[in-house]
Amino acid sequence: MYLRAFKKQLLSGPVEARTNGPEYSGFFARWDALASVRRKPRREFEAEGTRLFFPPELYPVVLHPIVAARGEGVVAGLLLQRLYDYLDFTTELENLAVIPIATKIGRGRSGMRLPEQMRADAHKIVTDEAWHAQFSDDFVRQIVTVTGCPRLGTEVPAAPVFVARLDALRQRLSPGLRGVEALLFAIVSETLISGILSDIPRDDRLPSAVRELVRDHAEDEGRHHVYFRSVLQHLWRALTPSERRDVGPLVPGAIHAFLEPDYDRVAYHLGGVGLSSDEIDQVISESWPTHEVRQSISRDASQLTRYFTELGALNDARTRDLFEEAGLVGIAHNSETAYLPKEVTA
């Protein structure tokens, strides 16, 4: 079993037969001076009298009249639970989706022919992500202690929703390609996370330690974004044309797996504050109308969609159809890179 786990590649088959990827210039030369694990302190949560723990605009169910009518205390409690879920999601994402992939890359078992420097840098990502998982978990514990409000429903959903969505994607791959969905999901989440972390640090309604913690994470993720963009370029070159036709159609599902709200988790919390199941359905469907969710995902993923387009992935008719069906193409967005750190966008 251990020998099999050791040998298991993300992309199976002989590495020598795979095509080389592009040059890798490296994005971690100043890692010791920049990484949050090296230079940032433990963020300490203090009671600042705030009742706003998460931006309500990013959790629109609390703005719905049925929820708002329950009073400020209920809204504040729901936003605190949202923050807990967000931090817990971060810990799970790092542990389940990113660290195992970066570890495989670092140890030369990605199945791709990667430059030595790229493999070496993967270890820095493992360290960064372990720190993000640690400080997110630690921060939940601190907030529970300071506020006296426990995180609710820890026993209910056994895993965050992306796990089940990822299992469903895996089933769509031919057996020989299974494992690639994990690599693809790491690429998708690592190139999208820097965008979704960009609003919170700027929101001065939130407790300062929350903003600082998310800023620490966002700065590291800016470097990870460019690294995983490079991993994507290597992956696409490494895949055969027929493998690309198998993997390309999974991309829209991987994007939705990461960005679509966890409706079951939201329903659990709304039930916890006394809403009936009809009210829960109404609040969720009116807070996240399907077309708005699609538009928002399309906007958040526009830069990643461009990367796949530039690689020619959408030249395959089935892949293109699925991108269109998911609403990922056909809408003009301003694909900003403003949240990336200067040293990697320069």
Contact residues for Fe ion, defined by CB under 5 A: 129, 132, 190, 221, 224
Which residue lies nearer to Fe ion by CB, 187 or 266? 187
Which residue lies nearer to Fe ion by CB, 121 or 129? 129
| Least CB distance to Fe ion at residue 106 (A) | 14
| Least CB distance to Fe ion at residue 191 (A) | 10
Residue at shortest CB range from Fe ion? 224
| Least CB distance to Fe ion at residue 294 (A) | 25
| Least CB distance to Fe ion at residue 190 (A) | 5
Which residue lies nearer to Fe ion by CB, 191 or 302? 191
Three state DSSP letters for the chain: CHHHHHHCCCCCCCHHHCCCCCCCCCCCCCHHHHCHHHHCCCCCCCCCCCCCCCCHHHCHHHHCHHHHCCCHHHHHHHHHHHHHHHHHHHHHHHHHHHHHHHHHHHCCCCCCCCCHHHHHHHHHHHHHHHHHHHHHHHHHHHHHHHHCCCCCCCCCCCCCHHHHHHHHHHHCCCHHHCCHHHHHHHHHHHHHHHHHCCCHHHCCCCCHHHHHHHHHHHHHHHHHHHHHHHHHHHHHHHCCHHHHHHHHHHHHHHHHHHHCCCHHHHHHHHHHCCCCHHHHHHHHHHHCCHHHHHHHHHHHCHHHHHHHHHCCHHHCHHHHHHHHHCCCCCCCCCCCCCCCCHHHHC
| Least CB distance to Fe ion at residue 308 (A) | 19
Which residue lies nearer to Fe ion by CB, 91 or 287? 91
Which residue lies nearer to Fe ion by CB, 199 or 279? 199
Which residue lies nearer to Fe ion by CB, 93 or 275? 93
| Least CB distance to Fe ion at residue 344 (A) | 13
| Least CB distance to Fe ion at residue 92 (A) | 11
Which residue lies nearer to Fe ion by CB, 189 or 302? 189
Q: Which of 245, 192, 223 is nearest to 122 (CA)?
A: 223
